[in-house]
Copies of this chain bind each other. A is one copy, B any other.
Amino acid sequence: MKPENIKVACSNCNLRELCMPVGLAPGELQRIDDLVATRRKVKRRETLFRNGEPFTSLYAIRTGVFKTRVASEDGRDQVTGFQMAGEIIGLDGIVNDQHTCDAVALEDSEVCVMPFDRIEELSREVTALQRHVHQIMSREIVREHGVMLLLGSMRAEERLAAFLLNLVQRLHARGFSRSELVLRMTREEIGSYLGLKLETVSRTLSKFAAEGMVEVEQRNVRIVDPDALRRIVNSPGC
Contact with B along A204-238 (1 / 0, CB 8 A): 00000000000000000000000000000011111
Interface positions, chain A 145-196, Cβ under 8 Å from B, are 145-149, 151-154, 192-195
Q: What's the Cα separation between A38 and B107 when bound, in Å? A: 51
Stoichiometry, as copies per complex, reads 2
Given A95-B142, A135-B94: A148 and B80 within 8 A (CB)?
yes
Q: Please tell me if the beta carbons of B145 and A148 are within 8 angstroms of each other in the complex.
A: no
A31 within 8 A of B: no
Find the B residue at minimum CB distance from A137.
B137
A139 within 8 A of B: yes
A91 within 8 A of B: yes
The number of chain A residues touching the other chain, given as a range, is 35 or more
Which of B120, B135, B193, B238 is in CB contact (< 8 Å) with A134? B120
A56 within 8 A of B: no
- Smallest beta-carbon distance A162→chain B, Å: 9
A75 within 8 A of B: yes
Residues of A in contact with B (beta carbons under 8 Å apart): 70, 72-78, 80, 91-95, 100-101, 120, 123-125, 127, 130-131, 133-135, 137-142, 144-149, 151-154, 192-195, 234-238
